[in-house]
């Protein structure tokens, strides 16, 4: 079991293809590791062992028959419980959907399954994925495996923790304001938000899967190669997603350890965020590795956001509240009244977001787009001079799980007030403009929680982000992180 946990998705798939490992062995090892470790981290909330083993046996027969095998044939994966998998309980982190079993599978996961991946279960998420910590009244908190008292981050925290512990080598997540990168950083794994539209998300009459010009779906993994493999499989257009576009070059082509000729801007506070010194120091200490890879790195300390960080976060939250209000209206059409009797057990903060969104008018919505345009122009001016931007992912070195209520972050960082739901993260500006952005681990805080470095690039320059991450992995490797998890996980 430990040998399987150390294998990457790429390595595991190769061994399955050559016949030295069977899909059944791979899935059983994953299920055994989940059974042993999950009670400590609460990464998985539903495990579909019987279904996964049945698919593994089918995959094993395909190997024996000499059939053509997909790139992830027989590889176990996890799927965020916000997103549907046909025939598997999908709670969305809410009592309202605690026993819901959808009939369809979200396209990005369907594409992974068509490539041979086997879903072993659903991973923890906050209610409706609406905050950047993973905790809910239904499912409880997910912990980072590096300090079990600390939260995994959200809203893809279960997937991040599952990958970090080796329960699965690859897990799916989503990001509308940092929901991939925040937990990726706190759990010491790699993940990447692509240019919006690279991964198609067809609209369906489902209250929590609508067209949204700020959300991206992607895998989380321990290595850049694994995540990029998953992303390439997920990518591509779909006729029912008008924002999606054809992908002509796979991101795997950008997996190079060299950054020769690349210009990188280091933004220690991303233009105005308060940052804990321990976090900034860890990211700064990674810069020599980028220079060693051949990049020209310049610290840009006079860059400023077009709005103060707190106001920018508030504008992003307001935009998201419109999405929440829309979801509530669609739910009502389907017989689920979140603002009525059926919403009694829904997080009050989510319901307040619904009410905020419902109270906004069309003019306010359009004025929000003007703010997004200002943010876009500000970053585009910087991208005129630099290929990549580098900053911390989060302003803080972790969030303690709250034992008295569902977990949120701090209301103050370095003496400045922040929104406790996500204002302590430097991720949402890139959702506002649809730019690709990634997190790579570059160290650990005194409390043991990993610290993430954020790469970002101009829209459609996803390959530049992959190059940055691959070079960082080569010149500042993080594989040793997983050998030093919380002792409670290795006892």
The residues that are catalytic are 80, 155, 179
Crossing angle of helices 348-359 and 309-333, rounded to 10°: 90
Question: Which of 109, 107, 111, 83 is CA-nearest to residue 97?
Answer: 83
Read off the tokens for 173: 């997540």
Sheet with 190-193, strands from edge to edge, namely 44-47, 118-123, 76-80, 170-175, 216-221, 190-193, 437-444, 450-456, 388-392, 263-266, 296-299
**For residue 436, what are the CA distances in angstroms to 158, 180, 181, 381, 468?**
22, 12, 11, 16, 12
**For residue 308, what are the CA distances in angstroms to 224, 271, 301, 378, 446?**
33, 9, 15, 13, 29
CA separation for the pair 245, 249 (Å, rounded): 12
In 72-178, beta strands by DSSP E:
76-80, 118-123, 170-175
Question: Which of 268, 261, 312, 282 is CA-nearest to residue 471?
Answer: 261
* β partners of residue 452: 441
DSSP 254-319: G--S--TT-EEEE-TTTTT----HHHHHHHHTTHHHHHHTT-EEEE--S---SS-HHHHHHHHHHH
DSSP annotation of 72: T
Residue 85, CB half-sphere, CA atoms under 13 Å: how many? Answer: 28
């Amino acid at each position: 079991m430990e040998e399987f946990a150390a294998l990457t998705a790429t390595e595991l798939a190769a061994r399955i293809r050559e016949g030295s490992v069977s899909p059944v062995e791979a899935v059983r090892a994953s299920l055994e590791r989940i059974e042993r470790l999950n009670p400590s981290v609460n990464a998985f909330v539903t495990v579909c062992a019987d279904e996964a083993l049945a698919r593994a046996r089918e995959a094993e027969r395909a190997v024996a028959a000499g059939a053509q095998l997909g790139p992830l044939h027989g590889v176990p994966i996890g799927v965020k419980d916000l997103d549907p998998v046909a025939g598997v309980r999908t709670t969305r982190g809410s009592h309202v959907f605690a026993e819901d079993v959808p009939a369809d599978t979200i396209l990005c996961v369907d594409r992974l399954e068509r490539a041979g991946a086997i879903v072993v279960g659903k991973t923890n998420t906050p209610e409706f994925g609406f905050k950047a910590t993973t905790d809910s009244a239904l499912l409880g908190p997910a912990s980072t495996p590096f300090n079990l008292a600390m939260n995994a981050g959200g809203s893809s925290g279960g997937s991040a923790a599952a990958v970090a512990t080796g329960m699965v080598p690859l897990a799916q997540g989503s990001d509308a304001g940092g929901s991939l990168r925040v937990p990726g950083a706190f759990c010491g794994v790699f993940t990447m938000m692509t240019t919006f539209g690279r991964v198609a998300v067809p609209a369906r009459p489902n209250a929590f899967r609508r067209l949204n010009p700020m959300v991206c779906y992607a895998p989380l993994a321990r290595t850049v190669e694994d995540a990029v493999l998953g992303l390439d499989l997920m990518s591509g257009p779909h006729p029912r997603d008008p924002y999606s576009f054809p992908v002509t070059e796979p991101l795997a082509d950008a997996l190079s350890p060299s950054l020769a000729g690349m210009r990188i801007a280091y933004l220690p506070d991303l233009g105005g965020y308060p940052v804990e010194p321990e976090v900034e120091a860890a990211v700064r200490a990674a810069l020599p590795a980028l220079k060693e890879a051949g990049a020209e790195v310049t610290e840009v300390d006079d860059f400023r956001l077009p709005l103060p960080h707190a106001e920018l976060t508030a504008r992003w939250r307001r935009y998201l509240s419109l999405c929440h209000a829309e979801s509530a209206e669609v739910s009502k059409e389907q017989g689920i009244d979140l603002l009525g009797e059926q919403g009694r057990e829904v997080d009050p903060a989510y319901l307040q977001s619904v009410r905020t969104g419902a109270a906004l008018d069309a003019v306010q919505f359009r004025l929000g787009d003007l703010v997004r345009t200002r943010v876009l122009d500000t970053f585009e001016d910087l991208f005129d001079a630099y290929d990549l931007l580098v900053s911390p992912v989060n302003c803080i070195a972790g969030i303690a799980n709250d034992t008295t209520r569902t977990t949120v972050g701090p209301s103050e960082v370095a003496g400045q007030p922040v929104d406790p739901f996500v204002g302590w993260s430097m991720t949402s500006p890139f959702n506002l403009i649809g730019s690709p952005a990634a997190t790579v681990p570059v160290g650990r805080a005194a409390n043991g929680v990993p610290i993430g470095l954020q790469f970002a690039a101009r829209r459609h320059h996803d390959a530049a982000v992959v190059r940055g991450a691959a070079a960082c992995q080569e010149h500042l490797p993080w594989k040793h992180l997983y050998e030093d998890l919380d002792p409670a996980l290795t006892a």
